[in-house]
Every structure is written in structure tokens, then in C-alpha cells.
């Protein structure tokens, strides 16, 4: 049986995706893996992810900005270190919640533990997100 871990970051008001991604980059987060950027602009609940060359990131950011903030979920894969460890950032409709789904080389508490080291991820992400009005964090680590 596997486990799923995620962190929900809630904000006082809606956030601008481009600004948040820029802030994360300033804290060492990368959106490129194997020369590409994986993202989704989900309008229909099907979450059809696309991977494009990293040179197309400006085009991706334009697509994010043009999406209806009230109804569209935006997602992008993010790497938090060089190992790499990371997951998928999902900007939910309304842009007041960002979910981070920990899916890339998950860091557990120890080699013997099946639980995710959520503190490690929070330590990396909160300093980058707090300037945008972060006011709540919810975590989960559940079997599936």
C-alpha cells in the first residue's frame, strides 16, 4: 500500500500565479525537469498534463494569466532541490488556495518510516509563499 502526501496553502486573498512562481524561483524552486516544463490548464476536470521545452515557459505563463481564475485549476511541476525532490503545485479556482502534491522522490522522515517529512517541505515553501498573504497551512499524509 502506498501513501499520498500534500500541503494546502491558503491565502488572505487571491494570488497572481506569475508572481508566486517568480517568488518560488527566488527561493531555489525550479519548474524544469529533464529540459521540460510540465503543466496543466484544467477547465474540464480531466487534468491533461502537457510537457513542453523549458524555452516555452513564457508561453506557459501567458496561458496561466489568460485562464479564468474563477473556474480553472492551474498546475505546474516543481523541484525543490537538486536530488530532485518535488511535486505538483495546483492553483485552485479562486486562487486563494495552492495545493502542493508531493510526488517526486518523496522525502520521508527516515528510511524506516512511511510518513512524509512534511516539515522539510514546509520549511522550503513557506518563506517563499508568506509574502503573498499566506494565512493557513493544512497537511495530509494518507494511505491509498
Mean pLDDT score, 42-61:
96
With a cut of 90, say whether residue 141 has pLDDT above it. yes
Beta-ladder partners of 3: 143
Q: How far apart are CA 79 and CA 107, in angstroms?
A: 12
pLDDT value for 137:
98
Q: How far apart are CA 99 and CA 7, in angstroms?
A: 6
With a cut of 90, say whether residue 13 has pLDDT above it. yes
Mean pLDDT score, 74-94:
95
Beta-ladder partners of 76: 39, 89
Q: How confident is the model at residue 2 (pLDDT cuts 50, 70, 90)?
A: confident
Pairing of β 97-104 and β 3-11:
antiparallel
Q: What is the mean pLDDT of the chain?
A: 96
**Is the whole model's pTM more than 0.75, yes or no?**
yes
Residue range 92-131, pLDDT digits in tens: 999 999 999 999 999 999 999 999 999 999 999 999 999 9
Amino acid at each position: 500500500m502506498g501513501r499520498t502526501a500534500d500541503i494546502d496553502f491558503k491565502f488572505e486573498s487571491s494570488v497572481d500565479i506569475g508572481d508566486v512562481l517568480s517568488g518560488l524561483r527566488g527561493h531555489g524552486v525550479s519548474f524544469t525537469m529533464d529540459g521540460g516544463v510540465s503543466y496543466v490548464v484544467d477547465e474540464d476536470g480531466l487534468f491533461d498534463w502537457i510537457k513542453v521545452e523549458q524555452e516555452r515557459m513564457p508561453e506557459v505563463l501567458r496561458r496561466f494569466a489568460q485562464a479564468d481564475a474563477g473556474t480553472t485549476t492551474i498546475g505546474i511541476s516543481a523541484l525543490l532541490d537538486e536530488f530532485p525532490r518535488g511535486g505538483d503545485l495546483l492553483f485552485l479556482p479562486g486562487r486563494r488556495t495552492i495545493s502542493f502534491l508531493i510526488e517526486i522522490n518523496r522525502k520521508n522522515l527516515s528510511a524506516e518510516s512511511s510518513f512524509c517529512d512534511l516539515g522539510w517541505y514546509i520549511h522550503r515553501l513557506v518563506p517563499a509563499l508568506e509574502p503573498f498573504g499566506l494565512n493557513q497551512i493544512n497537511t495530509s499524509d494518507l494511505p491509498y
